[in-house]
Every structure is written in C-alpha cells, then in structure tokens.
Amino acid sequence: MLKVASDVDWRFELALIMANETGHRSKAIRHLRWLDIDLINRTIRWQAEADKAGQEYVTPLTEAAVGALQHAQEERTAIGET
C-alpha cells in the first residue's frame, strides 16, 4: 500500500507511515495537529479526545516518523492548528 499511497494523496501516505511507526489508530492520527508534534524533542502528544481510552499522553517518534513529518511540513508549510 505504501508504494502507491502517494498516488492517492500525500495525507494518506503520511497516515500509513504514522500508523506503522506509532501503532496508533487512524482516528487518533487524523486528530493530530502540528502543535501536538515536537520534532526537536522527537515526541508526539496524543489528545485525550482522540484516544480510545480517553487519555492524553506523549510518546517518542521513530526516525521514519520524524522524516515523514519533516517532509510533510516542508512540502506543505503547515504549522500550528493545521
């Protein structure tokens, strides 16, 4: 799927990478905002509203996830609430 994901949409490709690298559900990934992602400290904050258990927590990001997020941010110049 990942090989053709970019043909579908860049967000689909990023979502697949994030699902694989974080183990989180698509709903939690869809609710992420750039404010939740800390590329300097390589962490991601998962909002309680999007979590199945209703808990907010922070997890580390893998190299692959950081690379995909950096690429998306550079290509889309998106920050903040986006």
Position 32 pLDDT exceeds 60:
yes
81, part of any domain: no
CB 44 within 8 A of CB 59: yes
pTM above 0.85, yes or no: no
Hey, what amino acid is at 25? Answer: R
- Number of domains present in the structure of the chain: 1
CA distance 52 to 72: 26
21, part of any domain: yes
69, part of any domain: yes
pLDDT digits (tens, 9 = 90+) for 17-29: 999 999 998 889 9
pLDDT mean over 34-42? 94
pLDDT mean over 2-21? 80
pLDDT mean over 2-10? 68
User: Which residue segment(s) compose the domain that 44 sits in?
Assistant: 2-76
Total length of the chain? 82
48, part of any domain: yes
Query: Beta strand 37-38 with 43-46: parallel, antiparallel or unpaired?
Result: antiparallel
**CATH number of the domain within which 52 lies:** 1.10.443.10
pLDDT digits (tens, 9 = 90+) for 64-73: 999 999 999 8
